[in-house]
A = this chain, B = another copy of it.
């Protein structure tokens, strides 16, 4: 199909199509914290029950969450992150840290996360190859597929 006027092929867009809908990442937050039951999710996230049900279905068959029975008779379920889901947790930590820094007063942090090293977690994105912190100026994008147009070294 890929007709003219097709948006770019892009893994960021693909990832967002799966986890970028309203509430999806909050579901993941809760599930990573161990709060994987339907009513907990409703309460903690504040999402309408029907929307939440739809998100859970989507996340389960997107391979982010699994639904497991924690009680037969009465049958009760719990959602848990898959390995792929857990791999998104650092991204949540980053979002949290960004939010703490830009959207809140210094003394108003609803949650603090501790790293196993004993310090408060301050997540930083680094380059796996050289270990340096990743910063915008140090990146160069190389499109590999059609559909991409970069504004070359344009105006400063």
Contact between B136 and A128, CB atoms less than 8 A apart:
no
Q: Which of A98-156 contact B (CB under 8 A)?
A: 98-104, 108-132, 134-145, 147-152, 154-155
B142–A111 touching, CB < 8 Å: yes
Are A5 and B43 in touch, CB under 8 angstroms?
yes
Contact A98 B109 (CB under 8 A): no
Q: Which of A17-59 contact B (CB under 8 A)?
A: 18, 20-22, 25-26, 29, 32-36, 40, 43-46
Q: Smallest distance from the beta carbon of A111 to chain B beta carbons, Å?
A: 5
> Known interface pairs A99-B14, A145-B110. Does A91 touch B125 (Cβ–Cβ under 8 Å)?
yes
CB contacts (< 8 Å) of A11 on chain B: these are 95-100, 103-104, 109-111
The reply on A60 being an interface residue by CB < 8 A is: no
Whether B18 lies near A111 (C-beta < 8 A) is: no
Cβ–Cβ contact B110 & A143, under 8 A: yes
Whether the pair B84, A14 counts as a contact (CB closer than 8 A) is: no
Task: Give the complex CA separation of A148 and B30 in angstroms.
Answer: 10
Instruction: Give the CA-CA distance A108 to B9 in the complex, in Å.
Output: 10
Task: Assess whether B34 is in contact with A144, with CB atoms less than 8 Å apart.
Answer: no
A130 with B125: CB separation less than 8 A: no
Whole-angstrom CA separation of A52 from B140 in the bound complex: 26
